[in-house]
Structure 1
């Protein structure tokens, strides 16, 4: 599974120091930087790779702004300084995003996106600041029309007692078209918030072959492994989800 040895900046890569960046040219490639601040992407099809982002201010490490799409973030480490809050490691306000082999830590929320792919990444050791809800991978609404959210083969560990490791919330709309597959999950109040809510019944949410660990809390999360699962949602699938130390995880017994 993803961990410190196979995520973030690969060993042997030499980084060049940089201040915060605002990217406005489509197709820009950022490679080999040590960024003291943040990266704001105001363009399409940008790639950030082999880069360390040291959050220095309140809001984000990497941001894709609304109206843009195609950001790829790979082999990148994002973290706050533990003093001034970095609220999001990676925040996607735009459309498609691909995040792979990232190492995100010492932040309030790891990744927030409604669509795209998050894979082969290591999210761990968040930092709590007063008033925070703390989630390592979070979605707050449905994906954009014609897209989906895929969260697969990640190690996601929230060492706090709130809120989640992976959290599918109905803050702004009904959750649909999400696949959560092959992840190792631990910690938070619940390790997984599975998409149910007051705005409607979630649909096409597939939670498959994930492993829930007791390494942070005996119940997986402080309160249990999973909450807010819509058993009756059209296309919803719960299959093959187990405890790390053996036995099936039942969303009806959370």
Structure 2
């Protein structure tokens, strides 16, 4: 043993201190771990959370739901005539007849199955509850010049795929007619009315320009509440026009087309650039989309009034010309 200033000192090798230091470090780590126990959760257990002291989450608004397209037309197609509401009434017994030339004023023809064409050479003739099947290249029904007030009511007119026009040419009223398989429907001159009728399935022939309705001149013409299916779905052919107006040779005066369904045509309403018109009005019509070029050619032609707010798409009710 040696001394320093008379204080005994052991050699380093004779009094080891390493275990003491290790113990101090271990104890210190244990104390720190105990102090932090509430912050570090044991392995495999979720951390403890006091929900009462947490701030409420900020609500995130949901995006607005996408608008569902309105797939239901505002006016159903059943509003307009069809095969079940036009033509010969169900249950009517028909008698066979050949083609007719009617020469007696005020004559009434009813309940006939007419195989042939009809020529009217008298005024105030009435044809009702009958079917007319004409295979002439001319007209299924023709009113000769100078005779007035033919009425065709609850009739079916078919042109066997070859007839030039269903009815011609002036001074007639068509009501609840089913007209089909003709190249053109009625050709309208002065004093003509077509109401509550169904025009459909025009017949395409080489070089034809098929119109469901047509006028090249006349006055006092009414086209109201008809279903005009110019588009031929079987042929996938829009044809020429639901209504074709005008030529360079005649003036159209006081024509009203209102409350009709119209589908098809190169233009559904064809207006000639040479049309001379006075008070030609289009209101409250619904249009389909099976045309080739558009709904109306030249709606601003002088003398033509196109009511934009009421001439609308069948499927949406929105104006076809904004």
Task: Name the TM-score class by shorter chain.
Answer: 0.7 to 0.9
Structure 1-normalised TM-score? 0.88
Q: Highest relative contact order (Cα 8 Å, sep 6+), 1 or 2?
A: 1
Among 242, 260, 273, the alignment partner of 1:165 is 242
- 2: CA distance between counterparts of 1:39 and 1:232? 37
Instruction: Return closer, same or farther for 1:120/1:156 CA change in 2, 3 Å cut-off.
Output: same
Structure 1 residue 142: Cα displacement: 2.7
Structure 1 residue 166: Cα displacement: 1.4
Structure 1 residue 182: Cα displacement: 0.2
Question: Which portions of structure 1, spanning 4 or more consecutive aligned residues, are displaced by more than 6 angstroms?
Answer: none
Greater helix share, structure number = 2
Does the CA contact (< 8 Å) of 1:204 and 1:237 recur in 2?
no
Q: Does 1:236 align with 2:311?
A: no
- Aligned residues: CA RMSD: 1.6
Q: Does 1:187 align with 2:264?
A: yes
Among 9, 27, 30, the alignment partner of 2:109 is 30
| Structure (1 or 2) with the larger CA radius of gyration | 2
Structure 1 residue 163: Cα displacement: 1.1
Q: Does 1:39 align with 2:110?
A: no
- Listed as ranges, the matches of 1:136-147 within 5 Å are 136-143=212-219
Among 67, 71, 84, the alignment partner of 2:150 is 71
Greater strand share, structure number = 1
Structure 2-normalised TM-score? 0.70
- 1: CA distance between counterparts of 2:307 and 2:101? 41
- 2: CA distance between counterparts of 1:171 and 1:51? 37
* DSSP-derived class of the 2:81 partner: coil
- 2: CA distance between counterparts of 1:14 and 1:197? 48
CA deviation vs aligned residue, 1:74-100 (integer Å, no higher than 9, x gap): 100001223xx11111112x4x21111
Identify unmatched segments of 5+ residues in structure 2: 1-79
- 2: CA distance between counterparts of 1:134 and 1:127? 8
Q: Does 1:99 align with 2:174?
A: yes
Among 200, 219, 226, the alignment partner of 1:154 is 226
